[in-house]
């Protein structure tokens, strides 16, 4: 079935060095799902058993769009007592993530090649994640393409579903209008709270009176995507949604 995609799939033959890395180590890091209709889909009924994949029960963070693995590998190395799952559709990026993980000597990381918008409702049960990260997703800059943006009301509901109570959805972008969209999506979701709602807006923001953004999270590394945007004169904005309790929506502070 046709579906609106939040990405353009870019595939090419892997360089020999990455091909060797994947042959030697891919099975240790890459989850191979049953496929649905299309290479980046997963079949209905396919589930990721996190405890089985990681061989333990530990807090799990999911990164959606892990790129070349700069963020998730750094996190896996920094927090060995936590586990990390990545969803990515770019095959060379997956190979580079595996290569970085091998070089860093981390084993608490897994990658699944899948379209997050299609896969997230399928692969994970309710309340299984401590954090979800959506850092620098494709901005789809043209107005007629905004419908392709990953961060939407429907996607927020799925993120809230898989987050444990008090869990955090962390977002960042360096496109101003997408940042405001992210913030608005978080605030529109009845299962998420923005702990920075009501904060004064940053005076550097181009649209006055629109606060509610989070300070930069200390766990978010500066990737080449952010550096490229900074070189072009763009500034990153962070947003966060905290999963409200499933019974009695009392506010919670950021953990």
Q: What is the pLDDT of residue 209?
A: 44
Q: Any binding-site annotation on 155? A: no
**pLDDT, tens only, 106-160:** 999 999 999 999 999 999 999 999 999 999 999 977 888 699 899 999 999 999 9
Residue 1 has pLDDT above 50, yes or no: no
Q: Any binding-site annotation on 224? A: yes
Q: Any binding-site annotation on 63? A: yes
Q: Any binding-site annotation on 138? A: yes
Handedness of CA 245, 249, 250, 252 (dihedral sign): positive
Number of domain units in the chain: 1
Give 171's strand partners.
134, 239
In CATH, what number is assigned to the domain containing residue 39?
3.40.50.150
Q: Is residue 117 part of a domain?
A: yes
Distance CA(192)–CA(55), nearest Å, equals 30
Q: In this structure, are residues 5 and 115 in contact, taking their beta carbons and an 8 Å threshold?
A: yes
pLDDT band at 255 (very low <50, low <70, confident <90, very high): very low
Q: Is residue 103 part of a domain?
A: yes
Catalytic, 165? Answer: no
Give 238's strand partners.
172, 214
**pLDDT, tens only, 43-88:** 999 999 999 999 999 999 999 999 999 999 999 999 999 999 999 9
> Residue 173 carries which DSSP code?
E
Q: Is residue 10 part of a domain?
A: no
Q: Is residue 184 part of a domain?
A: yes
* Residue range of the domain that includes 221: 28-243
Q: Any binding-site annotation on 142? A: yes
Q: What is the pLDDT of residue 5?
A: 45
Nearest residue to 248 via CA among 174, 193, 183: 193
Catalytic residue among 28, 138, 165, 238: 138
Q: What is the pLDDT of residue 211?
A: 78
Q: Is residue 249 part of a domain?
A: no
Distance CA(235)–CA(57), nearest Å, equals 37
Those residues with Cβ within 8 angstroms of residue 27's Cβ, 6 or more apart along the chain or in another chain: none
Distance CA(244)–CA(186), nearest Å, equals 12
Residue 248 has pLDDT above 90, yes or no: no
Q: Is residue 54 part of a domain?
A: yes
Q: Any binding-site annotation on 226? A: yes
Distance CA(252)–CA(222), nearest Å, equals 28
Q: Is residue 15 part of a domain?
A: no
The fraction of the chain above a pLDDT of 90, given in percent, is: 78
3-class SS shares of the chain: helix, strand, coil, % to 5: 35, 20, 50
Q: Is residue 181 part of a domain?
A: yes
**pLDDT, tens only, 190-225:** 999 999 987 655 655 554 445 799 999 999 999 998
């Amino acid at each position: 079935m046709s579906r609106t995609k939040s990405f353009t799939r870019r595939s090419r033959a892997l360089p020999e060095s990455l091909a060797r890395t994947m042959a030697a180590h891919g099975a240790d890091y890459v989850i191979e799902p049953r496929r649905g209709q299309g290479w980046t889909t997963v079949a209905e009924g396919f589930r990721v058993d996190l405890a089985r994949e990681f061989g333990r029960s530990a807090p799990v963070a999911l990164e959606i769009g892990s790129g070349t693995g700069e963020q998730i590998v750094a996190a896996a190395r920094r927090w060995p007592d936590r586990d990390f799952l990545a969803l990515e559709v770019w095959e060379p990026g997956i190979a580079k993530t595996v290569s970085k993980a091998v070089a860093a000597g981390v084993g608490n990381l897994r990658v699944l090649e899948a379209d997050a918008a299609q896969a997230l409702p399928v692969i994970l049960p309710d309340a299984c994640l401590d954090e979800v990260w959506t850092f620098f997703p494709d901005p789809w800059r043209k107005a007629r393409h905004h419908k392709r943006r990953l961060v939407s009301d429907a996607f927020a509901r799925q993120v809230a579903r898989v987050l444990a109570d008090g869990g955090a959805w962390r977002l960042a972008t360096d496109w101003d209008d997408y940042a405001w969209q992210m913030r608005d999506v978080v605030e529109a979701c009845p299962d998420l709270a923005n702990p920075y709602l009501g904060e004064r807006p940053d005076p550097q923001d181009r649209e006055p009176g629109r606060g509610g953004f989070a300070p930069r999270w200390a766990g978010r590394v500066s990737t080449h995507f952010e550096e490229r945007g900074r070189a072009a004169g763009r500034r990153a904005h962070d947003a966060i949604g905290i999963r409200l309790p499933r019974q009695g929506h009392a506010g919670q502070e950021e953990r």
